[in-house]
Amino acid sequence: MQTRKTLGRFSKWTAIVAITAATAGCAGGPMTTREKGAGIGAVGGAATGGLIGSAFGHPGMRAAIGAGTGLGAGALVGDYMQGQEQAQYQYNQQQIQQNQRVIEQNRHETQRYQRTEY
């Protein structure tokens, strides 16, 4: 009987965390990489905490602790990944600008050769 009651609490807390994470993700605009990492960490932490809690008692409390820990860890990982994305974007923009300058130089040089041939 205790196992069924514990699993019922675990399911309730899992549903609450999942609904909260899904609702928070739909709060407007696309989610950043940091927010995605935080959400994944929170859900994963809550699930892990709930499973551990259901084995040792107090699944709700353990799920909440796991969600908080997962949220922090996920946000840190997401922040790092977002920084990497921004650095890659800046590098790509610099490469595009450099390529555009080379194309323009080649275009001018081609036009100059065409004028001197005729």
Q: Residue 105 burial by CB count (10 A; 0-12/13-18/19+): exposed, middle or buried?
A: exposed
Structure tokens at 3: 């196992």
Specify the 3-state DSSP secondary structure of 57. coil
pLDDT digits (tens, 9 = 90+) for 36-68: 888 888 888 888 888 888 777 777 888 888 888
Cα separation, 76 vs 61, in Å, equals: 23
Cα separation, 45 vs 71, in Å, equals: 7
Where exactly are the structural domains of the chain? 2-85
pTM equals: 0.59
Instruction: Give 8's pLDDT tier (boundaries 50, 70, 90).
Output: low
Q: What is the DSSP secondary structure assignment for residue 27, as one 8-state letter? A: S
The single-letter code of the amino acid at 83 is: G
**Contact predicate 25/31, CB 8 Å:** yes
Instruction: Give 109's pLDDT tier (boundaries 50, 70, 90).
Output: very high
